[in-house]
Amino acid sequence: MEVLLDGEALRAAVEDLGVAGPLLIVGLMVLAIVMSPIPSAPIALAAGAAYGHIWGTVYVATGAELGALIAFAIARMAGYDAVQSWLGKRFQSGILARFMGSQNALMATVFASRLLPFLSFDMMSYAAGLTPLAAWRFALATLLGIVPASFLLAHFGGELASANLGRASMAVLFLGAITLIPLAGKLIWDRFRSPRR
């Protein structure tokens, strides 16, 4: 577990594995999604440091997508029928029914959740499995949403490995700006929506 939290040790372990390294990255990402307490950021940073921006992104996104699909399938098989029977008639009428019945709305929600770093990727995968969202729509929304974050983390890992502090600092600032954009948008939206006194 300590190796998973230490990006440098993880990068060294991945590089020592040679061709099995990418399989380790994909497997660890799957494990990090399915078993929620395992952090995925050190894995993504190590992938970027070991394999560069492009291949690091490919391995991280592949693992995250597979992990999300497994979490979705677990929730769908284990809890979907229970949720439907629990909601019963309440599900068949009202705003909740219209939202839950709209494949486009559910797909947009999954996509947006993948872009917001403060929402739990793992929990959203499990929660989506409890909705009537089609599996292929979930897979597409997840893939489209995780590619930007996967690239940023892999890029950041690659910059840290290059030992170029100027470029690494720019990557940190850019990652921070991307994280703050949704929060700034929400604050601006709330400000314009609030009634003027």
Note the pLDDT of residue 64: 94
Note the pLDDT of residue 5: 45
The DSSP result for 90-150, as a single string, is HHHSSHHHHHHH-HHHHHHHHHHHHH-TTS-HHHHHHHHHTS---HHHHHHHHHHHHHHHH
Structure tokens at 172: 């940190």
pLDDT along the chain (197 residues), means of 10: 52 74 89 82 82 90 95 86 64 51 84 81 86 91 91 78 58 57 67 63
Note the pLDDT of residue 60: 93
Query: What type of residue sits at position 68?
Result: A
CB 106 within 8 A of CB 53: no
Note the pLDDT of residue 94: 47
Query: What type of residue sits at position 51?
Result: Y
Domain residue ranges of the chain, discontinuous segments joined by +: 2-193
This prediction has a pTM of 0.72
